[in-house]
Structure 1
Amino acid sequence: MKVLLVYAHPEPKSLNGSLRDFTVKRLEQAGHVVQVSDLYAMKWKASLDADDSRERLSAERFYPSRESKHALEKGVQSEDIAREQDKLMWADAVILQFPMWWFSMPAILKGWVERVYAYGFAYGVGEHSDARWGERYGEGKFAGKRAMLIVTTGGWESHYSARGINGPMDDVLFPIQHGILYYPGFDVVPPFVVYRTSKIDETNYAQVRDALGQRLDDLWTTAPIPFRQQNGGAYAIPQLTLRDEFAPEQVGFAAHIE
């Protein structure tokens, strides 16, 4: 299989750097082909702006979605964006690896998503009618591909528990797993999370490494998170709210998981 690892940490000698190297080695030893997009090493431009197209649709005013669609359709996207899109189409599985900073991904990785997920590529695709509302949330460009997060955090696991002060980890990661990965069609497997990173020593690292190795070995057999498919009948269209007979007692993120 072909795996794209999108990596966002500024220090190669960090715990994340070690886990990145281990991930690549483990996957390659299993016979997989791996590409790494090391965003800091690439000096990735995080901001989506008018410079992302070599030929503007309008010189008077910058409309991000319109310019994105125009650049994709006309083949005038900046070369760095086009290269990352080619990697996404090449990959059978995508891994996003990052430290959790302020309850989300680092800005450089968010910028990768904003620029690479062009209009007509990752969103704005498919029929919009009373029966369907685009190819998204279970359908889309990346349907049939797998995705997983590797996340590190300095917080304790209990801080991210069901009653923890930071909120449940599944809720914290929901916008990424459901919104960034499931939205364009990925089957999203549960994340691999490392807690209390400042307390990782040689003994703990071996445990983390072994656990990650098992998750990588199981990447293609682990059951994905059972998010509800948008066009599968559970949602009223075009309102895109759950029909009354689905999870009637639930609200919030949990209602969108079967």
Structure 2
Amino acid sequence: MQGIDDPSTVFWISAHPEQRSLTGSLRRDGLAHLRQGGHSVLESDLYAIGWDPVVRSQDGGQVGEHGLRRFRVSSDTRRAFLTDEQPRDVAREQSKLLKADAIIVQFPLWWYGMPAILKGWFDRVFVSGFAFGTDPQTGRRLRFEQGPFVGKRVLVITTLGDRPQAIGPRGKSGELNELLFGLLHGTFAYTGMSVLPPLALPSADRLSDYSRVQDELVDRLDGLFVDREIPYRPQFTGEYTSEWELADHVRPGEHGVRIHSRTPAAIPGEPHATPNE
């Protein structure tokens, strides 16, 4: 595979109920391409494995199972992780994530968000102590540039019904990186990952040239370890206040999600602004 010197481990998470869908076809072709490039591939096809997306008291380990007290989601799932009392399905997904050098998250965009089964995967797998938290020895905040997943790269692949212009800089549905900001910044960057610009395939229901989107997919997979990441701002280098607000000297007078990148996301037809640092 071009641009990658050494084979790596890639974890591919997908969420679509139909194997014969466009999502399913891209997944199969993408996995085959990665394997042909010599990479180790880990998979979680959430519908195929019957993933349970619902956080339950059992996710808190023995305390939750026996109902000894009220289930405190964050603290009890953290304790279950630290004491190795998590459900096996959660621990298995966490193990895949830890082994991965890069993560592919693939889903159809439904109502401008992830399918419920995938949202539930994050709810159950990305628990405190594993994906974020505080180092008990040093008190170091484990998030953004100090997150536990620093060094891992992540690429979102999504299909959607909107026309290409609808997710452009003046599109009715919102510019793509802003539309996915909660996932890209609030989940992936928050946990320390390097976030690649997402691959979106619009007008998926009217697709007539599969070879074109297949080529797009292959191109992005070939750049998985070399393409430039979205330059989200680090949290602990003076650009934010102690209240997590962008400091007054950074992009003064501006607001909105794009100010949290050191340069705006690449938008066709719009020049990159020079950050006012």
> TM-score surpassing 0.5?
yes
Please name the residue that 2:229 is paired with.
Answer: 224
Provide the aligned length of Structure 1 versus Structure 2: 253
- Partner SS state of residue 10, structure 2: strand
Matched, 1:206 2:211: yes
**Does the CA contact (< 8 Å) of 1:5 and 1:96 recur in 2?**
yes
TM-score (norm 2): 0.88
Q: Distance in 1 between matches of 2:254 and 2:197?
A: 21
Please name the residue that 1:86 is paired with.
Answer: 95
Q: Distance in 2 between matches of 1:25 and 1:55?
A: 41
Which amino acid in the other structure matches residue 126 of structure 1? D
Please name the residue that 2:20 is paired with.
Answer: 13
Q: Distance in 1 between matches of 2:246 and 2:201?
A: 33
**Does the CA contact (< 8 Å) of 1:98 and 1:106 recur in 2?**
yes
1:146-196 CA deviation, whole Å, 9 max, x = no partner?
A: 001000001111111222111111111010000111110000010111000
1:255 counterpart (230, 236, 259)? 259
Matched, 1:28 2:32: no
Q: Distance in 1 between matches of 2:80 and 2:244?
A: 29
Moved over 2 A (4+): 57-60
Please name the residue that 2:182 is paired with.
Answer: 175
Please name the residue that 2:245 is paired with.
Answer: 241
Matched, 1:215 2:224: no
Please name the residue that 1:145 is paired with.
Answer: 152
Deviation of residue 133 (structure 1)?
7.1
Please name the residue that 1:109 is paired with.
Answer: 118
5+ long unaligned stretches in structure 2: 1-7, 263-277
Q: Distance in 1 between matches of 2:59 and 2:77?
A: 8
5+ long unaligned stretches in structure 1: none
1:47-96 CA deviation, whole Å, 9 max, x = no partner?
A: 11102244116622111001111101111000000000000100000110
Deviation of residue 103 (structure 1)?
0.6
1:101-150 CA deviation, whole Å, 9 max, x = no partner?
A: 011110000000000011111121338x9xx9712122211101100100
Please name the residue that 1:189 is paired with.
Answer: 196
Deviation of residue 249 (structure 1)?
3.2
Please name the residue that 2:107 is paired with.
Answer: 98
TM-score (norm 1): 0.94
- Partner SS state of residue 141, structure 2: coil
Which amino acid in the other structure matches residue 214 of structure 2? R
- Partner SS state of residue 96, structure 1: strand
Q: Distance in 1 between matches of 2:254 and 2:228?
A: 23
Q: Distance in 2 between matches of 1:139 and 1:145?
A: 13
Q: Distance in 2 between matches of 1:122 and 1:54?
A: 18
- Partner SS state of residue 62, structure 2: coil
Q: Distance in 1 between matches of 2:44 and 2:233?
A: 30
CA RMSD of aligned residues (A): 1.7
Deviation of residue 198 (structure 1)?
1.1
1:73 counterpart (60, 67, 82)? 82
Q: Provide the identity percentage.
A: 39
**Does the CA contact (< 8 Å) of 2:61 and 2:76 recur in 1?**
no
**Does the CA contact (< 8 Å) of 2:148 and 2:192 recur in 1?**
yes
**Does the CA contact (< 8 Å) of 2:11 and 2:43 recur in 1?**
yes
**Does the CA contact (< 8 Å) of 2:12 and 2:43 recur in 1?**
yes
Matched, 1:155 2:129: no
Q: Distance in 2 between matches of 1:102 and 1:124?
A: 30
